[in-house]
Protein backbone atom coordinates (compact mmCIF):
# COMPACT_ATOMS: atom_id res chain seq x y z
CA UNK A 1 0.00 0.00 0.00
CA UNK A 2 1.19 3.53 -0.86
CA UNK A 3 0.39 6.26 1.66
CA UNK A 4 0.36 9.66 -0.03
CA UNK A 5 0.05 12.95 1.84
CA UNK A 6 -1.12 16.02 -0.03
CA UNK A 7 -1.01 19.47 1.58
CA UNK A 8 -3.14 22.32 0.25
CA UNK A 9 -2.11 25.87 -0.68
CA UNK A 10 0.91 27.01 1.35
CA UNK A 11 0.43 30.68 2.28
CA UNK A 12 3.61 32.68 2.83
CA UNK A 13 6.45 32.08 5.28
CA UNK A 14 4.26 30.84 8.16
CA UNK A 15 2.70 28.23 5.90
CA UNK A 16 6.09 27.15 4.54
CA UNK A 17 7.63 26.70 7.97
CA UNK A 18 4.64 24.79 9.32
CA UNK A 19 4.38 22.57 6.24
CA UNK A 20 8.05 21.62 6.51
CA UNK A 21 7.61 20.76 10.20
CA UNK A 22 4.71 18.45 9.37
CA UNK A 23 6.49 16.85 6.40
CA UNK A 24 9.54 16.12 8.56
CA UNK A 25 7.33 14.60 11.26
CA UNK A 26 5.31 12.32 8.98
CA UNK A 27 8.38 11.13 7.12
CA UNK A 28 10.21 10.45 10.39
CA UNK A 29 7.20 8.53 11.69
CA UNK A 30 7.15 6.54 8.41
CA UNK A 31 3.49 7.50 8.28
CA UNK A 32 3.64 8.38 4.57
CA UNK A 33 5.59 7.27 1.51
CA UNK A 34 5.14 10.28 -0.76
CA UNK A 35 4.40 13.97 -0.15
CA UNK A 36 2.89 16.48 -2.58
CA UNK A 37 2.21 20.14 -1.72
CA UNK A 38 0.59 23.02 -3.54
CA UNK A 39 3.11 25.88 -3.39
CA UNK A 40 1.56 28.57 -5.58
CA UNK A 41 1.05 31.02 -2.68
CA UNK A 42 4.24 30.24 -0.78
CA UNK A 43 6.14 33.45 -1.66
CA UNK A 44 4.65 36.25 0.45
CA UNK A 45 1.24 34.82 -0.38
CA UNK A 46 1.65 35.13 -4.18
CA UNK A 47 3.57 32.73 -6.40
CA UNK A 48 6.71 30.78 -5.65
CA UNK A 49 10.43 31.50 -6.07
CA UNK A 50 13.23 29.10 -7.06
CA UNK A 51 14.69 29.36 -3.55
CA UNK A 52 11.38 28.37 -1.94
CA UNK A 53 10.89 25.50 -4.38
CA UNK A 54 14.38 24.15 -3.66
CA UNK A 55 13.80 24.49 0.08
CA UNK A 56 10.52 22.57 -0.04
CA UNK A 57 11.99 19.80 -2.18
CA UNK A 58 14.96 19.45 0.16
CA UNK A 59 12.58 19.14 3.11
CA UNK A 60 11.17 15.86 1.79
CA UNK A 61 8.43 17.10 -0.54
CA UNK A 62 8.44 14.96 -3.70
CA UNK A 63 6.39 17.23 -6.00
CA UNK A 64 5.11 20.83 -5.85
CA UNK A 65 1.88 21.67 -7.67
CA UNK A 66 0.55 25.14 -8.40
CA UNK A 67 -2.24 27.09 -10.10
CA UNK A 68 -3.14 30.54 -11.36
CA UNK A 69 -0.43 32.31 -9.29
CA UNK A 70 2.46 30.23 -10.65
CA UNK A 71 3.90 33.16 -12.66
CA UNK A 72 3.52 35.88 -10.00
CA UNK A 73 7.23 35.88 -9.10
CA UNK A 74 9.18 36.82 -12.23
CA UNK A 75 12.22 34.68 -11.42
CA UNK A 76 10.14 31.49 -11.71
CA UNK A 77 9.86 31.81 -15.50
CA UNK A 78 13.47 30.81 -16.32
CA UNK A 79 13.58 28.32 -13.43
CA UNK A 80 10.49 26.21 -14.05
CA UNK A 81 11.82 24.44 -17.18
CA UNK A 82 14.84 23.27 -15.16
CA UNK A 83 12.86 21.66 -12.30
CA UNK A 84 10.33 19.04 -13.46
CA UNK A 85 9.16 18.45 -9.88
CA UNK A 86 7.61 21.93 -9.84
CA UNK A 87 4.41 21.66 -11.89
CA UNK A 88 2.25 24.29 -13.53
CA UNK A 89 -1.26 23.46 -14.77
CA UNK A 90 -1.03 21.15 -17.78
CA UNK A 91 -3.77 22.90 -19.76
CA UNK A 92 -1.69 25.93 -20.74
CA UNK A 93 -1.25 26.33 -24.50
CA UNK A 94 1.63 24.51 -26.24
CA UNK A 95 5.00 26.20 -25.83
CA UNK A 96 4.46 27.51 -22.29
CA UNK A 97 7.49 26.69 -20.07
CA UNK A 98 7.30 23.94 -17.49
CA UNK A 99 5.45 20.67 -17.11
CA UNK A 100 1.94 19.72 -16.07
CA UNK A 101 2.79 16.25 -14.81
CA UNK A 102 5.66 14.06 -13.68
CA UNK A 103 6.33 10.37 -13.03
CA UNK A 104 8.79 9.54 -10.24
CA UNK A 105 10.37 6.22 -9.30
CA UNK A 106 9.90 5.33 -5.63
CA UNK A 107 10.57 2.34 -3.40
CA UNK A 108 6.94 1.33 -3.96
CA UNK A 109 6.91 1.79 -7.71
CA UNK A 110 6.25 4.67 -10.07
CA UNK A 111 3.98 7.49 -8.90
CA UNK A 112 2.58 10.14 -11.24
CA UNK A 113 1.41 13.60 -10.20
CA UNK A 114 -0.70 15.78 -12.47
CA UNK A 115 -1.79 19.42 -12.11
CA UNK A 116 -4.81 20.84 -13.96
CA UNK A 117 -6.59 24.19 -13.65
CA UNK A 118 -10.33 24.78 -13.91
CA UNK A 119 -11.91 27.61 -15.91
CA UNK A 120 -15.08 28.77 -14.12
CA UNK A 121 -14.51 32.15 -12.36
CA UNK A 122 -10.74 31.77 -12.79
CA UNK A 123 -8.80 34.93 -13.79
CA UNK A 124 -7.29 33.58 -17.00
CA UNK A 125 -9.23 30.78 -18.70
CA UNK A 126 -6.94 28.07 -20.03
CA UNK A 127 -7.55 25.22 -22.48
CA UNK A 128 -10.42 22.87 -21.66
CA UNK A 129 -9.21 21.05 -18.52
CA UNK A 130 -11.31 17.94 -19.19
CA UNK A 131 -9.85 17.36 -22.65
CA UNK A 132 -6.32 18.07 -21.42
CA UNK A 133 -6.69 15.87 -18.32
CA UNK A 134 -8.02 12.86 -20.21
CA UNK A 135 -5.23 12.97 -22.79
CA UNK A 136 -2.57 13.30 -20.08
CA UNK A 137 -4.03 10.49 -17.96
CA UNK A 138 -4.00 8.16 -20.95
CA UNK A 139 -0.34 9.00 -21.52
CA UNK A 140 0.60 8.55 -17.85
CA UNK A 141 -1.21 5.22 -17.53
CA UNK A 142 1.28 3.77 -20.02
CA UNK A 143 3.87 4.19 -17.24
CA UNK A 144 1.90 3.75 -14.02
CA UNK A 145 -1.61 3.34 -12.66
CA UNK A 146 -0.78 5.37 -9.55
CA UNK A 147 -1.79 8.90 -10.53
CA UNK A 148 -2.52 11.79 -8.15
CA UNK A 149 -4.33 14.85 -9.55
CA UNK A 150 -4.38 18.36 -8.07
CA UNK A 151 -7.36 20.13 -9.67
CA UNK A 152 -7.03 23.86 -9.03
CA UNK A 153 -10.33 25.67 -9.27
CA UNK A 154 -12.86 28.04 -7.77
CA UNK A 155 -16.13 26.11 -7.96
CA UNK A 156 -17.11 22.94 -6.19
CA UNK A 157 -19.12 21.87 -9.24
CA UNK A 158 -16.19 21.93 -11.67
CA UNK A 159 -13.83 20.18 -9.27
CA UNK A 160 -16.43 17.53 -8.44
CA UNK A 161 -17.08 17.07 -12.14
CA UNK A 162 -13.35 16.47 -12.70
CA UNK A 163 -13.37 13.85 -9.96
CA UNK A 164 -16.29 12.05 -11.59
CA UNK A 165 -14.75 12.43 -15.05
CA UNK A 166 -11.50 10.76 -13.97
CA UNK A 167 -13.09 8.21 -11.63
CA UNK A 168 -11.51 4.80 -12.14
CA UNK A 169 -8.74 6.27 -14.30
CA UNK A 170 -6.61 7.86 -11.55
CA UNK A 171 -5.86 7.18 -7.88
CA UNK A 172 -7.05 10.48 -6.44
CA UNK A 173 -8.43 13.87 -7.41
CA UNK A 174 -8.04 16.58 -4.75
CA UNK A 175 -8.98 20.23 -5.24
CA UNK A 176 -7.09 23.38 -4.30
CA UNK A 177 -7.46 27.18 -4.62
CA UNK A 178 -10.22 28.13 -2.16
CA UNK A 179 -8.00 27.64 0.95
CA UNK A 180 -10.99 26.14 2.80
CA UNK A 181 -10.98 22.43 3.56
CA UNK A 182 -14.20 20.72 2.53
CA UNK A 183 -15.84 17.77 4.28
CA UNK A 184 -16.76 15.64 1.24
CA UNK A 185 -13.88 13.16 1.21
CA UNK A 186 -14.91 9.82 -0.29
CA UNK A 187 -14.01 6.98 -2.61
CA UNK A 188 -15.94 7.41 -5.85
CA UNK A 189 -17.71 4.40 -7.43
CA UNK A 190 -14.79 3.62 -9.74
CA UNK A 191 -12.23 3.59 -6.92
CA UNK A 192 -10.80 7.12 -7.15
CA UNK A 193 -10.33 9.08 -3.91
CA UNK A 194 -11.85 12.56 -3.98
CA UNK A 195 -11.84 15.72 -1.85
CA UNK A 196 -13.20 18.98 -3.26
CA UNK A 197 -10.64 21.18 -1.50
CA UNK A 198 -7.65 20.26 0.64
CA UNK A 199 -7.62 23.59 2.47
CA UNK A 200 -4.49 25.62 3.17
CA UNK A 201 -1.30 25.71 5.17
CA UNK A 202 -1.89 29.14 6.65
CA UNK A 203 -2.57 31.10 9.81
CA UNK A 204 -5.65 30.08 11.79
CA UNK A 205 -6.45 33.68 12.77
CA UNK A 206 -6.82 34.99 9.21
CA UNK A 207 -9.01 35.20 6.16
CA UNK A 208 -7.60 32.63 3.73
CA UNK A 209 -4.14 33.11 5.24
CA UNK A 210 -4.15 36.94 5.04
CA UNK A 211 -4.52 39.48 7.85
CA UNK A 212 -8.23 39.62 8.61
CA UNK A 213 -8.48 43.39 9.13
CA UNK A 214 -6.99 44.17 5.71
CA UNK A 215 -9.44 41.87 3.96
CA UNK A 216 -12.36 43.28 5.96
CA UNK A 217 -11.41 46.84 4.91
CA UNK A 218 -11.41 45.78 1.27
CA UNK A 219 -14.90 44.32 1.55
CA UNK A 220 -16.15 47.50 3.22
CA UNK A 221 -14.60 50.32 1.19
CA UNK A 222 -13.66 48.54 -2.08
CA UNK A 223 -10.40 50.52 -2.26
CA UNK A 224 -7.12 48.94 -3.41
CA UNK A 225 -5.04 47.63 -0.52
CA UNK A 226 -2.39 45.08 0.36
CA UNK A 227 -3.27 41.80 2.05
CA UNK A 228 -0.32 40.97 4.34
CA UNK A 229 0.22 37.31 5.17
CA UNK A 230 -1.20 36.57 8.63
CA UNK A 231 1.00 35.13 11.34
CA UNK A 232 0.46 33.00 14.43
CA UNK A 233 -0.52 29.32 14.80
CA UNK A 234 -0.92 27.58 11.44
CA UNK A 235 -3.36 24.92 10.32
CA UNK A 236 -1.59 22.50 7.97
CA UNK A 237 -4.42 21.01 5.94
CA UNK A 238 -4.64 18.37 3.27
CA UNK A 239 -5.54 14.75 2.62
CA UNK A 240 -4.01 11.38 3.45
CA UNK A 241 -4.70 8.75 0.81
CA UNK A 242 -3.95 5.02 0.69
CA UNK A 243 -3.46 3.58 -2.80
CA UNK A 244 -3.10 0.02 -4.06
CA UNK A 245 0.07 0.09 -6.20
CA UNK A 246 -1.17 -2.78 -8.38
CA UNK A 247 -4.55 -1.40 -9.39
CA UNK A 248 -3.78 2.28 -8.80
CA UNK A 249 -7.11 2.63 -7.01
CA UNK A 250 -7.58 4.17 -3.57
CA UNK A 251 -8.63 2.19 -0.52
CA UNK A 252 -9.10 5.19 1.77
CA UNK A 253 -8.95 8.97 2.01
CA UNK A 254 -9.01 11.07 5.18
CA UNK A 255 -8.88 14.80 5.71
CA UNK A 256 -5.58 15.84 7.28
CA UNK A 257 -5.18 18.77 9.68
CA UNK A 258 -2.43 19.60 12.16
CA UNK A 259 -1.89 22.73 14.21
CA UNK A 260 1.65 24.12 14.26
CA UNK A 261 2.42 26.95 16.69
CA UNK A 262 4.37 29.28 14.39
CA UNK A 263 5.64 32.65 15.63
- Predicted pLDDT at 262: 62
Residue 212's pLDDT is 92
Residue of 69, 152, 235, 262 marked catalytic: 69
pLDDT at position 124 is 80
pLDDT mean across residues, the chain = 96
pTM of the model: 0.96
The predicted model gives 4-32 an average pLDDT of 95
Q: Is 69 a catalytic residue?
A: yes
Of 235, 175, 173, the residue nearest 208 (C-alpha) = 235
Give per-residue pLDDT as tens, 19-68: 999 999 999 888 899 999 999 999 987 999 999 999 999 999 999 999 99
pLDDT digits (tens, 9 = 90+) for 139-172: 999 999 999 999 999 999 999 999 999 999 999 9
pLDDT at 263 over 70: no
**Stretch 94-106: mean pLDDT, rounded?**
97
Q: How many whole angstroms separate alpha carbon 27 and alpha carbon 19?
A: 12
Compute the distance between CA of residue 18 and CA of residue 8 in angstroms, rounded to an integer.
Answer: 12
Confidence of residue 114 (pLDDT cuts 50, 70, 90): very high
Domains, the chain, ordered by start: 2-260 (3.60.21.10)
Share of the chain above pLDDT 90, in %: 93
Amino acid sequence: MIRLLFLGDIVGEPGRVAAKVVVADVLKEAAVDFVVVNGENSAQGRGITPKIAIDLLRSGVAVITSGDHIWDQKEILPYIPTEPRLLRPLNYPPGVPGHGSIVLDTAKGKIAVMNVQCRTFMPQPLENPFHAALAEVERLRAETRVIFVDVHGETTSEKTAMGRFLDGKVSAVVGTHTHTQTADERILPGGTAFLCDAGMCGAVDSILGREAQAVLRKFQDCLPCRFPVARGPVHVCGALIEIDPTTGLASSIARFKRLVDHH
